[in-house]
Structure 1
Amino acid sequence: MTGTAIVVGGGIGGLASAVALAEAGWGATVLERAHRLGEVGAGVALTPNAVAALGGLGLDGDAVAAMGPRTWAAGTWDAHGRSILRLPDDPAADADTALRGVHRARLHGALLERARALGVDVVTDARVTSVDAGGPVAPARVQHADRAGSEVEREADLVVGADGVRSAVRAALFPDHLPAYSGFSSWRAVVPGLSAEPSLRQYWGARAEFGSMLVSDGATYWYGYVAMPEGTRLDDEHAAAVERFAGWAPEVQHVIAATPPGAVIRHDVHHLPGGLPRYVRGRVVMVGDAAHATLPTMGQGAATALEDGVCVGRIVAAGVASGQSLGAALAAYDAARRPRCRALARASVVSGRFGSHLGPRWQGVRNALMRRTPASAVTRGTRAVMGWTPPALP
């Protein structure tokens, strides 16, 4: 048996879910609030688990290779450019540090192309106004405003809440679970024509972090994650970033200085402490930041959204197709995803406290401890995160 699904949100998690549903033979419609689908001018480091998830969505090695160059996590430096943790320089020699540097727009475009090739209907200018989770017999219902402002009601066997940290689906079904400000804001930019250090490098300073990597042969992505009051308004984001990272390592200052001012964007970082108490309500399943928005300190936001999408197809849709009840399939999804994502959220908090969230007083102690830590211990610790593979089809 197959069914129909409405996916609320046309970002990475929503498109991944729609692709996985379509691959399982379900009819899927994506509702996206924005007028045009797309992603901001930023990069993402595709970790091995993210690449495995893309494979589970039918995007093979060649498709992933076309998204961006192969790179690796090189380690961590202090604000002055002194190494505090070096990881192996050869990504082929250590799969735990191997990455793909990808522009988010390229990843999003590949998922959108795959979804459309599978017959997924994508509706833009669709602002969701209400959600009825349905029940064992009753279908789920979603109301949304269309481009003209008229209300449209749709029903389906399944609704996927994939509409991000400020999810309308979560607000309707889990109104007591609100995102919280992390205390940090993040500058991001992609610099065309700049081929800086090819590996992913991160620098830790007092309540701040800088990172950069290649996302194509001629473009470098960087981010600057810094403590800042929520809602801070700056007249010139580029000038503010230059000032905030003045005195940091020369390579950090060089990348920021080489950035066209108009390429710099910034957003306050919100997360969902603890995540939702369950990822399922009625016939609604929650994925990505709508379910478990975490701090960015583990770099797993896009990867877990992709994992969630694969599991919507392989656990829920394929489970129903093989004879399971929808309720049992949804319970299996929750059991598979919630413990992993909660563990990653906890690890992100710990990583932040020890890393970019640490104040000036403890920088030297932290750096000395890290210099004594064998790189092999760090890479072993990543395997529980990076070693995820898609579940087998039922």
Structure 2
Amino acid sequence: MAQVLEKAVVIGGGIGGLTAAAALHRRGVKVTVLERAGSLEPAGAAISLAPNALRGLDVIGLGDGVRALAAWQGDGGLRAPGGRWLSRSSAAAATERFGGPLVLLHRATLIDRLAGLLPPDAVRTATAAHLIDPGDPGAPARPARVSTPDGELEADLVVAADGVHSAVRHLLFPDHPGAVYAGFTTWRTVIPLPGVRFASHETWGRGRLWGTHPLKEGRVYAYAAALAPAGQHAPDDERAELLRRYGDWHDPIPAVLAAVRPEDVLRHDVHHISEPLPAYHHGRVALVGDAAHAMPPTLGQGGNQAVEDAVTLAHHMGDLPAYTAARLPRTTAIARRAVRAARLSMMTHRAGTVVRDTAIAALSKAGPALLLRSFDDIAAWRPPAGDAVSFPAPFPAGEDRARAADDNRDRDRD
């Protein structure tokens, strides 16, 4: 039986936590967000949002604002380290097929807009939170309890959005093995790079990859990944490590590396949940985002799935078993696909990578739509019934549409 919710506590002020808070607030729930860090400012990197996540943001009134702020991804594709195109992608074809664009923006921008949907006193930073009691929605009902440095809070619902190494997850499911190292590390940077024109691309080598994507205002988002022992760091600095690994790869990679400063580079090992949880809830507590289903970034769906979680949770906020039923099968399937994509992109055997690249190139030439079709079930997601909104047209209208097309053509010059 669905429960009436009046108060919710969200542990974690990242994308999943803030989206959940905004969605619950929109449904009339009094929400308190507890963030351990001293501010909501995230690490300096960008995020790609696919049509599925944008539809989730539409539910809380943020979709159009994000589309306007973000860079719409233009034509691009997959390349080899020497520059050869293995496959080409059409932004127009993807937008038409999926009913919306793939966009990129800085994480800080998204966090700021999400926080702006909440009352000023809803977010408490520099506040460590610990789940004391998950509560019980049965009879007799018992609220969940969370401790903070300022005292305990009771809630009808606790949203655990405390990340890949979630303490709440461990408390709820102590026998679960938790997150494990995925076998590779990542580097990310956002830098200004005015005047450099290039097509969005991801480049696959042997046991390593690189991606470069234009953002608005002459900025660039670049990322890399490589097989490495867990906890390893460069002997000097991470920019030097990137130069060693990628300095002889195709343009615009050398230009990006020349513009980057050591302090601009973030490095993080990738951890994921290889064994799915039995449920995404227990008592009055629900897990969202990486706390529930951390996955490798190879499909670009980590943050997107957190947004889906958040709006689905708000829809089922009084019936957490329904939330688990809606989210666990989907996210488990996507996480497994992300693991398979990581294995493919991180292949090290020389002959195997030749076969891989040849197969991708052949598939791209024989049927470009086949590559798009593989993303259908991910991008086609829509919010639960009753939360659907009137989605915008795939392209901007009139003069804005022409300007967007011109911008894409300019960015896509090699």
Common fold by TM > 0.5: yes
Listed as ranges, the matches of 1:266-305 within 5 Å are: 266-305=267-306
Residue of structure 2 equivalent to 1:158: 157
Q: How many residues align?
A: 375
* Structure 2 residue identity aligned to 1:133: P
Deviates more, 1:94-103 or 1:272-281: 94-103
Q: What one-letter code is carried by the residue in structure 2 that aligns with 1:54? A: L
- Which has a greater percent of strand? 1
Contact 1:314–1:391 (CA under 8 A) maintained in structure 2: yes
2-structure distance, mates of 1:93, 1:144: 45
**Greater mean alpha carbon deviation, residues 121-130 or residues 292-301:** 121-130
Q: What secondary structure sits across from 2:255 in the alignment?
A: helix
Indicate if the aligned counterparts of 1:196 and 1:214 stay in contact, CA closer than 8 A: no
Contact kept in structure 2, 1:140 and 1:155, CA below 8 Å: yes
Partner of 2:369: 376
Q: Give me the whole-angstrom Cα distance separating, in 2, the residues matched to 1:198 and 1:100.
A: 16
Superposition pairs of residues 204-353 of structure 1, within 5 angstroms: 204-234=204-234, 235-316=236-317, 326=318, 329-353=319-343
Name stretches of at least 5 consecutive residues in structure 1 with no aligned partner. Answer: 147-151, 317-325
1:219-259 deviations in whole A, cap 9, x for unaligned? 00000111111111222111111111132213222222221
Q: 1:347 to 1:120 in 2, by over 3 A?
A: farther
> How big is each residue's C-alpha offset from its partner over 1:121-165, in whole Å with a ceiling of 9 and x where there is no partner?
11112212343111121111111335xxxxx21110010010110
TM-score w.r.t. the length of structure 2 is 0.86
Residue identity in the other structure for 1:367: D
Paired residue for 1:321? none
CA distance in 1: counterparts of 2:37 and 2:7, whole angstroms: 23
Which of 370, 383, 387 does residue 390 from structure 1 map onto?
383
Matches of 2:371 and 2:247 in 1, distance apart?
A: 30
Query: Structure 2 regions of 5+ residues with no counterpart?
Result: 388-414
The question of whether the paired residues in 1 share the 8 Å contact of 2:91 and 2:101 is answered with: no
Find the residue that maps to 1:346 and give its secondary structure.
helix
Deviation by residue 1:145-186 (Cα, 9 ceiling, x = unmatched):
35xxxxx21110010010110112112212233211111111
Q: Is the 8 A contact 1:131 1:169 kept in 2?
A: no
1:132 matched residue in structure 2: 133
Paired residues for 1:355-374 under 5 Å:
355-373=345-363, 374=367
Please say if residues 133 and 284 of structure 1, whose CA atoms lie closer than 8 Å, have aligned partners that are also in contact: yes
8 Å CA contact 1:73, 1:98 repeated in 2 = no
Residues 286, 320 of structure 2: 8 Å contact kept: yes
Runs of 4+ that moved beyond 6 A: none
Q: Check the 8 A contact 2:75/2:88 in 1, yes or no.
A: no
Task: Return the match for 2:84 from 82, 85, 90.
Answer: 82
Q: Which residue of 2 is the match for residue 142 of structure 1? A: 146
Contact 1:72 1:98 in 2 (8 A): no
Which residues in structure 2 correspond to 1:46-65 (within 5 Å)? Answer: 46-61=49-64, 63-65=65-67
Q: 1:195 to 1:144 in 2, by over 3 A?
A: farther
State the distance in 1 between where 2:44 and 2:350 align: 31
Deviations 1:1-27 (A, max 9, x none): 442110000000000000010011111
Equivalent residue in structure 2 for 1:14, among 7, 12, 17? 17
RMSD: 1.9
1:112 aligns with 2:115: yes
TM-score normalised to structure 1 length: 0.90
Q: Which residue of 1 aligns with 2:169?
A: 170
CA distance 1:36–1:291, shift in 2 (3 Å): same
1:320 corresponds to which residue? none
**Are the structure 2 counterparts of residues 5 and 359 from structure 1 closer, same or farther at C-alpha, using a change threshold of 3 Å?**
farther
Contact 2:347 2:353 (C-alpha < 8 Å) held by counterparts: no
Q: What is the percentage of aligned positions where both structures have the same residue? A: 39
Deviation per residue, 1:87-145 (Å, 9 max, x gap) = 125367644483111111111111111123xx661111221234311112111111133
2:313 aligned partner, one-letter code: V
Task: Give the Cα–Cα distance (whole angstroms) in 2 for the partners of residues 92 and 381 of structure 1.
Answer: 12
